[in-house]
């Protein structure tokens, strides 16, 4: 969300206006509003008000092969994640543990998915566990904690993960650890960070999950451009997949 907002404004796809440019983005989880802070013709930061986010379950334990019982929470902030303290599997949220975190994250995801159904109250396509987010202590003194998000087929997010921070805010709120109007800063595995704020509370779905409306703020940078070309004579023009 932050990167998309940066790109569409700075490349001229949408009109830039100072000091703030507002855009509306349609996402699989619902509409999201984003605001870009603009100074001297450049987007300095972006904040977005995310979809309704909630704790799906908290303080659960699952038996994970190789690691034994693991304590976890599940939160939704646009996607479902299992939140696990890295210390639960004897690891730290640092680059030196990168490969081990991927391995453990995939194992935990598989174990959680096998142990309980995960449904979305209004969007069946979102009813699955997208990844595991390991939490740990922050390296910066003004940050709350650190995230390492292992998602999809073992990819690791370079950021704290916008949807993941949203779900974490919801979990912390459900546990009574973060209130409306309160903000925290969460680091990524490489030290970048997002600020997360609980703007208000709400309910979500027919089962009326206690939910929050979060705002996430961060920065993004354009590092390059890429253009695909399609040759109709290419026998592999539709692509291929090797795993």
Number of domains making up the chain: 2
183 falls in which pLDDT band (50, 70, 90)? very high
Give the pLDDT score at 207: 59
18 in a structural domain: yes
Percentages of the chain per state (helix, strand, coil), in multiples of 5: 20, 40, 40
220 falls in which pLDDT band (50, 70, 90)? very high
Give the pLDDT score at 205: 64
Report pTM: 0.92
Same domain, 61 and 39: no
What is the separation, in whole angstroms, between the first and last Cα of the chain?
28
Half-sphere exposure of 56 (CA within 13 A, CB side): 25
223 in a structural domain: no
Same domain, 37 and 58: no
Structural domain boundaries enclosing 45:
2-49
pLDDT digits 0-9 by tens, 122-179: 899 999 999 999 999 999 999 999 999 999 989 999 999 999 999 999 999 999 999 9
Q: DSSP states of 23-84 as a string?
A: EEEEETTEEEEEEEEEETTEEEEEEEE---EEEEEEEEEEEETTTEEEEEEEEESSSEEEEE
121 in a structural domain: yes
Same domain, 90 and 152: yes
Instruction: Give the domain CATH number at 100.
Output: 3.10.310.10
Give the pLDDT score at 206: 62
Mean pLDDT, the chain, rounded, equals 95
Give the pLDDT score at 243: 76
* Cα–Cα dist 243/202, whole Å: 42
Q: ∠ at Cα 56 (51, 58), nearest 5°?
A: 130
pLDDT digits 0-9 by tens, 42-92: 999 999 999 999 999 999 999 999 999 999 999 999 999 999 999 999 999
19 in a structural domain: yes
Same domain, 78 and 190: yes
Same domain, 94 and 172: yes
Give the pLDDT score at 210: 87
Domain boundary among 176, 195, 214: 195
Same domain, 170 and 58: yes
Place of tokens 């619902």: 30
For the segment 214-235, the average pLDDT, to the nearest whole number, is 95
The H or E element that residue 203 is part of is: strand 193-204
Same domain, 44 and 59: no
Give the pLDDT score at 203: 79
Same domain, 142 and 117: yes
Same domain, 79 and 7: no
Same domain, 61 and 43: no
7 in a structural domain: yes
Same domain, 60 and 167: yes
Give the pLDDT score at 46: 98
Same domain, 36 and 120: no
């Amino acid at each position: 969300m932050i990167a998309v907002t940066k790109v569409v404004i700075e490349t001229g796809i949408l009109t830039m206006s100072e000091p703030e440019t507002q855009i509306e983005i349609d996402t699989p989880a619902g509409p999201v509003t984003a605001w870009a802070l603009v100074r001297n013709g450049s987007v300095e930061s972006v904040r977005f008000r995310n979809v309704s986010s909630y704790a799906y379950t908290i303080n659960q334990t699952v038996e994970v092969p190789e690691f034994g019982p693991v304590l976890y929470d599940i939160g939704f902030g646009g996607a479902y994640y299992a939140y696990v303290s890295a210390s639960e599997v004897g690891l730290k949220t640092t680059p030196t543990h990168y490969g081990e975190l991927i391995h453990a994250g995939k194992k935990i995801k598989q174990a959680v998915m096998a142990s309980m159904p995960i449904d979305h109250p209004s969007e069946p396509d979102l009813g699955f566990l997208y990844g595991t987010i390991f939490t740990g202590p922050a390296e910066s003194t003004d940050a709350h904690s650190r995230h390492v998000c292992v998602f999809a087929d073992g990819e690791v997010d370079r950021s704290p993960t916008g949807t993941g921070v949203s779900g974490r805010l919801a979990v912390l709120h459900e546990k009574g650890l973060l209130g409306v109007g309160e903000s925290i800063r969460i680091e990524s595995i490489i030290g970048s960070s997002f600020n997360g704020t609980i703007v208000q509370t709400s309910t979500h779905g027919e089962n009326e999950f206690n939910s929050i409306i979060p705002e996430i703020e961060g920065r993004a940078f354009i590092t390059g451009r890429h253009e695909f070309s399609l040759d109709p004579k290419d026998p592999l023009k539709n692509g291929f997949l090797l795993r």
